[in-house]
Structure 1
Amino acid sequence: MSTNKERYLDLLKELVAIPSVSAKREHLPETADLIAKALTDLGGETAVEDSYFAPLVISHFKSQKPNAKTVIIYNHYDVQPAEPFDLWESDPWTLTEKDGKLFGRGVDDDKGNLTARLTALADYLEEHNNALPVNLTFIVEGSEETASQHLDDYFKKHPELKADLIIWESGSKDKDDRPIISGGNKGIVTFNLKAKTGGIDLHSSLAAVVNGAPWRLSQALATFFDQDGRIAVPHFYDQVREPNEREKELIEQLPDTRESFIEKNQIKAPLLTDKRGDDWKQALYFEPTLNIEGITSGYQGEGVKTVLPAEALAKVEARLVPGMDPDDTLARIKEHLSQQGFLDIEVEKTLGQGGYRSDMTDPEIKRVIDLHEKTYGKDAVVIPTSAGTGPMNYAYEAIQTPIVGFGIGYPGTLDHAPNENIRLKDYDENIEVLKAIIDSYKE
């Protein structure tokens, strides 16, 4: 094992040991300080911007090459909660090696990706007498798992941040060990819907004349979809930026089949796209969603309690494709509820961010794709956008440059779940890819 790899695996061990859960707003400043020290020790001009609850780390590594390009490397140090603890085969806050894998919360999402990138930079500097052919700027935030709160505010405070390319937080391989290169993600707006039909819970015998809150809320939610499972909120799709033919083609080329998708996700109900006769892959990547995350009301304990609940709460989300504004989307949902006669349903926004999709033919992104294929000896799987959500749009709005994601994951990584893990071979290969990308700027 190289000295640099050992050094940054030790750092990864320290990082995993800190439960930097942004949902709980715990241990974020100390994690940021540890990362800042590592970047400074490596030679970066580093600052910790702590105007908000999750500090932002910015570190610059400058090239002496005239007119050198600049690449921003984005990562985050916050993690998802580790619960349920009883499903972990090892302590989630202890980096554990077993059978060529490393286990621990954040080992892939996203602390391991950061330490792999630090290893690549340290190796490159060592092998090239500290001469960089490209300016590198690390941006490491602490609220990605909670919709990157205040990341846009941080960008507004640092208008000097410029780049020719942004390398995004992480990525994976597919089931055939081909590297996946992604160029976008969906946005999101999350909100609570609350129905209140009385001041107190009532005896359920009164249901003959009183509408309980769970029924009222359910009736409101049922208006969101038509019989074919398409979102029925008027003008919901008006802002959608349709994919171009190249983007559709890239998604069509993905090897997943309808059957493998159903099997992998253990789906028992019919697919919504089956009802509509739509292509499931195109819908997954290019269509917005409206989803109920959870509903809470009434008695949930053992046995029976004959009660008519006075309050009911639903947590709802809409995944947004590029072009859709979170606040505009929520306004259309509110207007829909009003038009359907549900003025009494309270709507409370909780989080929101826009979506983004890169042009995968951009020369800087093509550079990344080509170097992955050369390093791995396999064709890359190129995805113009993911089905998930992230803060890419904040970065694009501030810096106006292409964004591309790749990383150390594999299909069994289990991000956000118990037993999150990476394979050491993927970690090592990713280090070599980033070194190749840095070196390519010598030309």
Structure 2
Amino acid sequence: MTIARETYLDLLKELVAIPSVSAKREHLPEAANLIADALTELGGETTVDDHYFAPLVISLFKSQKQNAKTLIIYNHYDVQPAEPFDLWKSDPWTLTEREGHLYGRGVDDDKGNITARLTALAEYLDENKGELPVNILFVIEGSEETASQHLDDYFKEHPEIQGDLIIWESGSKDKDGRVVLTGGNKGIVTFNLKAKTGGIDLHSSLATVVDSAPWRLSQALATFFSTDGRIKVLHFYDQVKEPNQRERKLVNLLSDTKEDFIKKNQIEAPLLTDKRGDDWKQALYFEPSLNIEGITTGYQGAGVKTVLPAEATAKVEARLVPGMDPDKTLTTIKEHLVAQGFEDIEVEKTLGQGGYRSDMTNPEIERVINVSKQETGEDPVVIPTSAGTGPMNYAYEATGTPIIALGIGYPGTLDHAPNENIRLKDYDENVEFLKAIIASYKE
């Protein structure tokens, strides 16, 4: 193991020990400053912008090459909550090695990716007498797990964030061990719905004549969907940007079968796409969704309480594909509720960001695809978008720069879950991949 790898694995240990949970707004400046110090020590021109609750870290490493291109490296230092703690086999805030794996909250998402990239840069500088063939600009935020609040504001404050390619926060290998390169993600709008049918909870004997908030809310929610999961909100699909033929083909080439998908996710109910005769892969990557995250109402204690609840709330999300604006989508949902006779249901937006899909034929993205093939001897898995959500659209709108995601994960990484982990083998291979990407700019 090189000195750089030891150094930044020690940094990873320090970072994992910081419970930088953006949902709780805890320990974010502490993590940002630790990363900023490491970047400065490595030679970067580093700024910590703390205008908002989650500081943004920016660090530039300049090339000596004339007219050098700029590679932007985007990451985040915030993590998901670690609860439930009793499901962890070791302390989530202590980096723990077992049988070639590293365990800890954020070890993949996204602190381990940060230290892998620092390791690659440090080793490249050491092996090339401190000279870079490309400018490298780190942009590291602290609210990715909470819809990247204020990241768009930070981009407006820092118009100097411009480049030729963005290496996105993280990525994985597939079940066959092939490198996966992803070029986009879905957007999201989250909102609360509230039904209120009275000033106080009532005796349930009055249910023959008095409507309850839970019934009112559940009836409103039921109007969103057909029985096969198709979204019935008028104009919901109007803004959808359809994938092109190549994008559809790339998704069709993915090796996962429907049986793999069902087994991996422990699904017991029939797939909605089977009910309506649609292709599950195409739906997963290219269709928007509307999901009920949770419903809260009434008595939840032990035994029975015969009550007619006066209030009920639901947390709801819509995953958005490119072309869909979060606010316009929420407006269609509000208009739908009014049209269905539920104008009394209160709608409160909580978070929102647009989706993005890369052009996978862009020369800078093709550079990464070719480097991956040279490093591994086989074609990587190329996906034009992920099924998940992230702030790629903020970055693209601000910079116009193509984006490609890659990282240290594998199918058993368990991001956001107890026992989040990476394999040291994947970590080391990713460091070499990143070094090769930097070296490709010598040409």
TM-score (norm 1): 0.99
Q: Please tell me whether residue 121 in structure 1 is matched to residue 121 in structure 2.
A: yes
Q: Please tell me whether residue 425 in structure 1 is matched to residue 396 in structure 2.
A: no
Per-residue CA shift, 1:63-105, capped at 9, x if unaligned? 0101100010000000000000000000000000110010000
Q: 1:278 matched to which residue of 2?
A: 278
Q: 1:164 matched to which residue of 2?
A: 164
Q: Which amino acid aligns with 1:262?
A: I
Q: 1:103 matched to which residue of 2?
A: 103
Distance 1:346 1:83 in 2: 30
Per-residue CA shift, 1:399-429, capped at 9, x if unaligned? 0010000000001100000000000000000
Q: 1:58 matched to which residue of 2?
A: 58
Distance 1:92 1:377 in 2: 36
Cα displacement (A) at 1:378: 2.4
Q: 1:212 matched to which residue of 2?
A: 212
Distance 2:265 2:196 in 1: 36
Distance 1:7 1:157 in 2: 33
Per-residue CA shift, 1:323-369, capped at 9, x if unaligned? 00000000000000000010110000000000000001111111111
For residues 260-339 of structure 1, the aligned pairs below 5 Å read 260-339=260-339
Cα displacement (A) at 1:258: 1.3
Cα displacement (A) at 1:227: 3.1
Distance 1:424 1:378 in 2: 21
Instruction: Report the secondary structure of 2:82's partner residue.
Output: coil
Q: Which moved more, 1:267-276 or 1:50-59?
A: 267-276
Instruction: Report the secondary structure of 1:441's partner residue.
Output: helix
Runs of 4+, deviation exceeding 3 Å: none
Cα displacement (A) at 1:228: 2.9
Q: Which amino acid aligns with 1:119?
A: T
Instruction: Report the secondary structure of 1:435's partner residue.
Output: helix
Q: Which amino acid aligns with 1:4?
A: A
Distance 1:425 1:197 in 2: 58
Q: Which amino acid aligns with 2:228?
A: D
Q: Which amino acid aligns with 2:182?
A: S
Distance 1:186 1:329 in 2: 14
Distance 1:25 1:274 in 2: 41
Q: Please tell me whether residue 18 in structure 1 is matched to residue 47 in structure 2.
A: no
Q: Which amino acid aligns with 2:266?
A: Q
Q: 2:84 matched to which residue of 1?
A: 84
Instruction: Report the secondary structure of 1:4's partner residue.
Output: helix
Distance 2:273 2:108 in 1: 32
Distance 1:378 1:427 in 2: 19
Q: 2:382 matched to which residue of 1?
A: 382
Q: 2:71 matched to which residue of 1?
A: 71
Structure 2: which 5+ residue stretches go unaligned?
Answer: none
* Alignment size in residue pairs: 443
Q: Which amino acid aligns with 2:139?
A: I
Q: Please tell me whether residue 353 in structure 1 is matched to residue 357 in structure 2.
A: no
Q: Which amino acid aligns with 1:34?
A: L
Q: Please tell me whether residue 146 in structure 1 is matched to residue 152 in structure 2.
A: no
Distance 1:434 1:115 in 2: 12
Distance 1:210 1:373 in 2: 66
Cα displacement (A) at 1:377: 2.2
Distance 1:151 1:91 in 2: 31
Cα displacement (A) at 1:372: 1.2
Distance 2:229 2:53 in 1: 40
Q: Which amino acid aligns with 2:148?
A: S
Q: Which amino acid aligns with 2:200?
A: I
Q: Which moved more, 1:223-232 or 1:201-210?
A: 223-232
Q: Which amino acid aligns with 2:400?
A: Q
Instruction: Report the secondary structure of 1:316's partner residue.
Output: strand
Q: 1:341 matched to which residue of 2?
A: 341
Distance 2:211 2:418 in 1: 41
Q: Please tell me whether residue 235 in structure 1 is matched to residue 227 in structure 2.
A: no
Instruction: Report the secondary structure of 2:267's partner residue.
Output: coil
Q: Which amino acid aligns with 2:287?
A: E
Distance 1:427 1:266 in 2: 28
Distance 1:38 1:46 in 2: 10
Q: Which moved more, 1:374-383 or 1:191-200?
A: 374-383
Q: Which amino acid aligns with 1:113?
A: N
Cα displacement (A) at 1:181: 0.2
Instruction: Report the secondary structure of 1:283's partner residue.
Output: helix
